A and B are shown apart, each in its own frame.
Chain A
Amino acid sequence: MIKRNSKLFALVAAFALTACGGGGGGGGGDTGSSSTSSDAPSFVDVSGSVTFDSVPHNPLTLGLDFESTTIEPARGVVVQAIDVNGAVIDETVTNGNGDYLLTVGVDTQVFIRARAELLSPAGSSSWEVAITDNTNSNALYVLDGQAFNSGDADVTRNLHAASGWDLSQMDYLDPRAAAPFAILDAIYEAIQAFVAIDSTIQLPALEVRWSENNVPTGNGSATDLANGMISTSFYSPAQQVIYILGGADQDTDEYDSHVIVHEWGHYFEDIMSRSDSLGGSHSINDRLDMRLAFSEGFGNALSGIILNDSRYIDSLGVRQLFGFQIDVERNDNVNIGWFNEGTVQSIIYDIFDGITVVPVGDPEASDEISAGLAPIYEILRSDEYVNSPLLTSLHLFLAEYKAVFPGDADAIDRLAAGQDVTVNDAIATGETNDGGNPVTLPVYMMLSQGQTADFCLINDFGPQNRLGNFRYILLEGLTAGNYTIRVDRISGDPVTDPDLFILQSGNFVAAAQTGAANTEFWSGQLPSGNFVLNVFDFNRADACYRVSFN
């Protein structure tokens, strides 16, 4: 995370004092006081706006439409007045119109700097977001104006961040100054939506790393990330950092607001709620591991909710001319079910959106809920959801939703049924949709001490993070003590390598990952409580196994 400027905290404190009727004097962008009581002013106001180029999508091609670029206010960003020695004289945060007001001494040589940084004003909620360049030591982007003498009268300085695109050459010929502010603007929208429903929300600091060098290749190494080879736009829960693509003619995402909010949604889910997702490649048509499906479907739906546009649009390609869209409002998804992110996004968006009048027989006819974002937030933040011994999934989310809002239970059931999902409880009792392979059911197996159970793992839908790659086994009501778990191959591919993972509320508490062929064994202590045993085959084998628990 970027190094914070201590003066800014002092400024925020000064705002707080002002708001409480105390303090006063000194710097303060919104005080409006610009002179002392003497005849000759000692200070002048420097005010203005900070704006950036926003590039929309062409409605037909879904690529970026630079000819339709609009100028938008940079909302909530930090603005500074800096003197010739580099010292920060005053700081503030732009308002919702991108306007700022700073106070500097008369006849002072200064320039105005807009930092690519969102900072909450003093109040009950808080957030902090910075845009940095991962290919240049995570340096913070700033937008600098020209130096000027403040004189002895109030002055206006408007700063604009240009896209750098040359319409005649159809290429980026100048610095892409607008990009960091475009990214911030999408995140500002997301933050404001949650502040509106929780005025005390505390969002931990977030760093977003963008560069024009960020291209869709790389091996995941820290060196590759520092060289811009980031593979794609993603959120890293370990680093609590978002990486955003910027490679021209390949894939740029700074103006793809839905992509930004999707990744911010991963940050939100990880930090403010809970995600057990494995991450990795995915599409809305895949049959995915249920943890991944829920996380990605939530991110897609959230982008539509926040941006008030159900069409997730992602531009890419030569001259950024191409693109595709995912309409999260649509319900006619492929491979629907509890393992499909298209299903998840449709259901969450339908919970949020207004009821739509639709023809009889249309899948949208199952949408009878119009609840907004607040109840979705309430569930994701609830202790029951965050601390559930089960894994994050559509079943867990919807079961909690039904429990908290029983009046909507029947409507939720019909909404889920429209996507071939049965929600009797969080462990998916009664679920009949196996995605095309019966070994994927039941979603959870139950296992008590002294019992054995047989199950199969498959890679029909992919080998990494797909439906059937994992078996979830619920170990309920354990007392603290020593336990053993053994898994042995019983049929299928001849050379398997099963691995065990024991989770409590999604956290890994123990694992056994030896390379022993066709077997795995774990022995150790477990505290009291409920656990999920997760079995995975390192060789991605199609095979069946017997698990014994003692």
Chain B
Amino acid sequence: MNTSKLLLPLVLTLGVGLIGCGSESSDDRLTASVSAPEVDSHTETVDEQSGLRLGRHYLKPGAAVLFDHDYDGKTDVSEQELVNVQILPSFNMETLRVRITSVDGIMVGGDISFQGPAIGQQPVNIPVLIQSGSEGRYYLNVMVDSMVKGDKQSRSFALPIVVGDAPISTKSSQIVESNGELIRVMPATENP
């Protein structure tokens, strides 16, 4: 379904409404407005509650490749699962180098490297066998180097591998409230 098209009237309406209100709706200033044609889901902020597209992302430069995979998002403890990692180059490259690693040791057979020329927009598919005996949230780290006219550019991707029911946990014990604001306290090395 062409979701963005169905939502456009709502986006237009909300955009006008916000202009009329003259105030921000949240601390994030996630204001909706008439927006550009969609770029892709990875480079825009999208509010998953409303489906509203909240803005484009201006990214840092890197190797001219796109990343995709067929991981289903869940692996049972001790289950072996084959994941296909796909690198899609934008154009001819003298050399395309892909290194897939995991500091968590979930790759059966260890790290994987691929190196070869990139021809047009033909994808490079790399099968990766994963397995973990422990529940957890791990990453396959995918680093891509492209060589064009002798110059290297790189881009890093990560593929989260969820083994068992491991939740996302990013909360820090260093968070406190101070004078009405949330702060994250980092310890100083102090030299009196």
In the bound complex, CA of A324 to CA of B156 (Å): 12
Select the stretch in A276-284, A358-366, A397-405, A425-433 that faces chain B. A276-284
- Chain B 147-159, CB-CB to A under 8 Å as 1, else 0, gives 0110111111111
Per-residue B-contact encoding for A495-534, CB less than 8 Å = 1, 0 else: 0010101000001111101110000000000000000001
A82 → chain B closest CB, angstroms: 8
Contact residues, B170-187 vs A (CB, 8 A): 170-172, 174-175, 178-187
Given A464-B40, A508-B36, are A142 and B59 neighbors across the interface (CB < 8 Å)?
no
Per-residue contact bits, chain B 34-57, to A (CB 8 Å; 1 contact, 0 not): 111101111111111000001111
Q: Shortest Cβ distance from B32 into chain A, in angstroms?
A: 8
A140 to B183, CA, bound (A): 5
Minimal beta-carbon separation of B190 from chain A (angstroms): 4
Question: Nearest Cβ in chain A — how far from B160, in angstroms?
Answer: 6
| A324–B148 alpha-carbon span in the complex (Å) | 13
In the complex with contacts A283-B62, A296-B61, A514-B175 CB distance below 8 A = no
Report Cα–Cα, A515/B1, bound state, in Å: 9
Cβ–Cβ contact A236 & B91, under 8 A: no
Interface residue? B126 (CB, 8 A) = no
Could you say which of A223, A277, A282 has the most chain B C-beta atoms within 10 Å of its C-beta? A282
Between A and B, how many residue pairs show CB distances below 8 Å?
300
Q: Which residues of A are found within 8 Å of B181, using beta-carbon distances?
A: 2-3, 5, 139-140
Whole-angstrom distance between the Cβ of B137 and the nearest chain A Cβ: 10
- Check A136 against B172 for contact (C-beta < 8 Å): yes
**In the complex, which of the residues B153, B158, B172 contacts A216, with contact meaning CB atoms closer than 8 Å?**
B158
Contacts A141-B183, A249-B141 given; indicate if A278 touches B37 (C-beta within 8 A). Answer: yes
Pair A249/B43 contact, Cβ less than 8 Å: no
Chain A residue numbers with a CB within 8 Å of B179 are: 5, 86-88
Cβ 8 A contact of B186, one of A157, A175, A296, A316: A175
Q: A2 to B182: give the CA distance in the assembly, Å.
A: 8
Cβ contact of B189, chosen from A162, A220, A282, A332, cutoff 8 A: A162
Shortest Cβ distance from B49 into A: residue? A222
Q: Which residues of A contact B182 (CB under 8 A)?
A: 136-140
Interface contact A220-B4, CB-CB below 8 Å: no
Within 8 A of B (CB), among A311-341: 312, 314, 316-318, 322-324, 326, 332, 334-335, 341
Q: Does A251 contact B (CB under 8 A)?
A: yes
Contact pattern, A 109-151, Cβ under 8 Å of B = 1, otherwise 0: 0001010000000000000000001011111111111101000
Rounded to whole angstroms, the CA-CA distance of A87 and B180 in the bound complex is 11
CA–CA, A144 and B153, complex, Å: 39
Contact A160–B190 (Cβ < 8 Å):
yes
CB distance B55 to A249 under 8 Å? Answer: no
A211 at the interface (CB under 8 A from B): yes
In the complex, are the beta carbons of B5 and A514 less than 8 A apart?
yes
A357 at interface by CB-CB < 8 Å:
no
Is the CB–CB distance between A334 and B154 below 8 Å? no
Interface size on B, residues (CB 8 A): 81
B128 sits at the interface (CB 8 A) = no
Query: A444 interface residue, CB < 8 Å from B?
Result: no
- In Å, the complex CA distance between A402 and B48 comes to 46
Interface: B21 (CB within 8 A) = no
Tell whether, in the assembled complex, residue A235 and residue B58 are in contact, meaning their CB atoms are under 8 Å apart: yes
Residue among B41, B58, B148, B191 making CB contact with A285, cutoff 8 Å: B148
Which residue of B4, B55, B141, B189 contacts A236 across the interface (Cβ within 8 Å)?
Answer: B55
* B-side contacts of A312, CB under 8 Å: 61
Chain B residues near A222 (CB, 8 Å)?
28, 30, 45-48, 54
Residue A161 interfacial (CB < 8 Å): yes
Residues of B within 8 A of A275 (CB): 58
Among B30, B39, B151, the residue within 8 A (CB) of A239 is B30
How far is A177 from B186 in the complex, measured between Cα atoms in Å?
A: 5
Segment among A27-35, A226-234, A372-380, A472-480 that sits at the interface with chain B: A226-234
Contact of A508 among B35, B66, B139, B157 (CB under 8 A): B35
Contact A314 B60 (CB under 8 A): yes
Q: From B56, B103, B158, B180, give the contact of A217 (CB < 8 A).
A: B158
A513-B3 Cα distance, complex, nearest whole Å: 11
**What chain B residues lie within 8 Å of A266 (beta carbons)?**
58
B145→A324 contact, CB < 8 A: yes
Q: How long is the Cα–Cα vector from A133 to B174 in the complex, in angstroms?
A: 11
Residue B95 CB within 8 A of the other chain: no
A324 and B153 in contact, given A144-B186, A160-B188 (Cβ under 8 angstroms): yes
Please name the residue on chain B nearest to A229 by beta carbon.
B160
Rounded to whole angstroms, the CA-CA distance of A411 and B153 in the bound complex is 31
Q: Which of A179-219 contact B (CB under 8 A)?
A: 180, 211, 213, 215-219
Task: Indicate if the CB atoms of B56 and A277 lie closer than 8 Å.
Answer: yes
Contact (Cβ within 8 A) B153 A161 = no
- Beyond A508-B36, A538-B5, 10 additional contacts (C-beta under 8 Å) are A139-B183, A142-B178, A144-B187, A160-B188, A231-B57, A277-B56, A279-B43, A299-B58, A499-B37, A536-B37
What are the 8 closest A-B residue pairs judged by CB atoms, nearest first? A238-B55, A279-B56, A283-B64, A177-B186, A135-B170, A508-B34, A139-B182, A251-B156
Using a CB–CB cutoff of 8 Å, the interface residues on chain B facing chain A are 2, 4-5, 8, 12, 27-31, 33-37, 39-48, 54-64, 66, 90-91, 99, 101, 103, 121, 139, 141, 143, 145-146, 148-149, 151-160, 168, 170-172, 174-175, 178-192
Taking Cβ atoms with an 8 Å cutoff, the residues of A that contact B are 1-3, 5, 86-88, 112, 114, 133, 135-146, 148, 155-162, 175-177, 180, 211, 213, 215-223, 225, 227-229, 231-241, 247, 249-251, 253, 259, 262-263, 266, 270, 275, 277-286, 295-296, 299-300, 312, 314, 316-318, 322-324, 326, 332, 334-335, 341, 461-462, 464-465, 470, 497, 499, 501, 507-511, 513-515, 534, 536, 538
26 A-B residue pairings within 8 Å (CB atoms): A2-B181, A3-B181, A139-B181, A140-B183, A141-B186, A143-B187, A144-B186, A159-B189, A161-B186, A177-B186, A177-B187, A211-B170, A213-B170, A219-B46, A239-B55, A250-B158, A279-B43, A280-B59, A286-B90, A295-B58, A312-B61, A314-B60, A317-B156, A470-B37, A501-B36, A515-B2
